[in-house]
Structure 1
Amino acid sequence: MNVLDPLVARYASWLSLPGEATADISDEDPDNVVLMPMVLRIERNDPPERTALLEASAAAALAVCLDERCAEGGEWHEAMRGWISGRIRKVARRARGSHWDAVQELPGVTVEVGAAQVRAFLPMRVADMPKELSRLQISGSELAVDEPGPVKPDAPVLWLPPDVPMSAGKSAAQVGHATMILAALLHGDGMDAELGAWRDAGYPCSVRQADEETWAKRHPGDDPESAWRSHGVAVVRDAGFTEVDPGTVTVLAQWPSS
């Protein structure tokens, strides 16, 4: 059993029905929200490139989910399985210097891509978030758009939409959703060899801003299941809690064999 299995069962219904994307949270107790914190290392005088930071975010979110401690019987399994079975929410914060060093002691996985570093943590209730995380700022994570060059060979491409502005923190969470969905669909289709090879390589991916033609060509319309079966395209549809409208497609993730 894979900790990501609940995603497989819910994937198509998430995208074809409005319920999850327009969920009413008016009665939700903010302290009881369970989410995955992600911390982006952004040093004041030497910030990373935006693309590398997003690629590290995408890999880190999946790496912590599929860490051996999250496997059935592992010490992290119940916390991770419970989060994935509910609303999958993340929050990205920024850290530098001693604050970055401090969060390395908390349960999670750090991924480095080039000069960019991101740590994704075991999901937790907001009320239980330790001060090393809660004191970090959510805002201020914006980075200039860079020129990333060619995509990585034999790795998925995570396409960001051409007309939906998102902060680096919001984008980091969305590409993390995308790699989780890709891994869940691979496992659900019995492609564990491909998933294992991706894991062994460190979950590399390319994050790119799509132009209108690229986005239109890959967008699955109202048939996300066929898009995956036929073209290897998985979709992230946001619930609209922050920055974007409910139901917005924030990432199109293309598996490289398609």
Structure 2
Amino acid sequence: MTGAFPGELVLPFVVRVERADPPARTDALEAAARGALLMLTSDDPTWAAAVAEWDGRRIRKVVRRARGAEWRRALTVDGLDVVQGTAQLRVYPPVPVDDWPPELSRLQVAGTNLDDPEEPDPPAPGRPLVLLSPHAAMSTGKAMAQVAHAAQLGWRAADEAQRTRWAADGFALAVRDASESQWQTALEAEAPVVHDGGFTEVEPGTATAAIVLP
């Protein structure tokens, strides 16, 4: 497994997963993708230096889950709230990979798996579409990090007019599991593709997600 670089920063996410009322998988995935963009473009001056440093390095994100009192503690740490359908997510300014705020450091990372109670609607036309690879099996938590990576790559690839429209639309997007043909079409169109660092669940270099810009 590839090790972390000295002083490496990570973008922390916490998703609310109550035992009796967990969010739908697609909502959680889309919340993570939007959360990365909202933090990346935040105008909060106290976060600017950390965000710029993080964005200038290899991009890393970690998703943890919380419920009940854990979630209430997570809300006391400075960050941004993202509500996407049934999903509630909080994204925080980047921190050193081994120095999370104590309110977040004990939250669970592994084993976050969610389901969609019904098939998601077709993506709305004209919006960015993040595709998860049909060749990479991942937990929901891992997939959330990958679609957030893809959204960030999409932002880098977008021109100024695309960025302006996207931001004005609240970074609306869709996340879907790609079919074999959808994935191949995206690759042939040279869509931005995430190649994972291999820290968890998949081998280093695995293509996990791509983003198709309108």
In structure 2, C-alpha distance between the alignment counterparts of 1:153 and 1:215, rounded to whole Å: 18
Which has the larger displacement, 124-133 or 55-64? 124-133
Distance 1:247 1:176 in 2: 17
Shift of residue 163 of structure 1? 2.2
Higher Rg of the two aligned structures: 1
Distance 1:155 1:111 in 2: 18
Deviations 1:71-124 (CA, angstroms, capped at 9, x unpaired)? xxx221211111122221111000112222222232321111111111111110
Q: Which amino acid aligns with 1:205?
A: L
Q: Give the match for residue 53 of structure 2.
A: 82
**Residue 168 (structure 2) pairs with residue 210 (structure 1):** no
Q: 2:127 maps to which residue?
A: 155
Deviations 1:172-223 (A, max 9, x none): 001111111111111xxxx323212211221111111111111112114xxx
- Counterpart CA distance in 1 for 2:57 and 2:79 is 20
Whole-angstrom CA distance in 2 between matches of 1:103 and 1:196:
31
Asked if the contact 1:94–1:140 (Cα under 8 Å) also holds between the matched residues in 2, the reply is: no
In 2: Cα distance, 1:83 partner to 1:200 partner: 24
Aligned to 2:40: 65
How far is the alpha carbon of 1:68 from its aligned partner? 0.8
Give, as a single letter, the amino acid of the residue that structure 2 aligns with 1:40: V
Instruction: Return the alpha-carbon distance in structure 2 between the equivalents of residues 140 and 246 of structure 1.
Output: 20
Matched residue count: 213
SS class of match (2:200)? coil
The one of 177, 183, 208 equivalent to 1:250 is 208
Do residues 178 (structure 1) and 159 (structure 2) align? no
Q: Structure 1 stretches of 5 or more lacking a match?
A: 1-21, 221-226
Report the residue type matching 1:216 in the other structure.
Q
AA aligned to 2:90 is R
Which letter maps to 1:117?
Answer: Q
C-alpha displacement of 1:48: 0.8
Residue 126 of structure 1: how far off its partner (Å)? 3.4
**Secondary structure of 2:192's aligned partner:** strand
Name 2:24's counterpart in structure 1: 49
- Choose between structure 1 and 2: higher helix proportion: 1
Q: Letter of the 2:13 partner, please give it.
A: M
- Specify every segment of 5 or more residues in structure 2 that has no aligned partner in the other structure, as ranges: none
Q: Which amino acid aligns with 2:176?
A: R
> In the aligned structure 2, how far is the partner of 1:125 from the partner of 1:242?
18
Q: TM-score, normalised by structure 1?
A: 0.77
Rounded to whole Å, the distance in 2 between the matches of 1:34 and 1:175 is 18
SS at the partner of 1:177?
helix
Q: Secondary structure at the match of 1:175?
A: helix
- Spell out structure 1 runs of 4+ moving beyond 4 A: none
Contact 2:111 2:139 in 1 (8 A): no
**CA–CA distance in 2 between the matches of 1:199 and 1:102?**
30
Matched residue SS, 2:103: helix
In the alignment, the residues of structure 1 paired with residue 184 and residue 98 of structure 2 have an alpha-carbon distance, to the nearest angstrom, of: 41
Check whether the contact 1:39–1:118 (CA below 8 A) recurs between aligned residues: yes
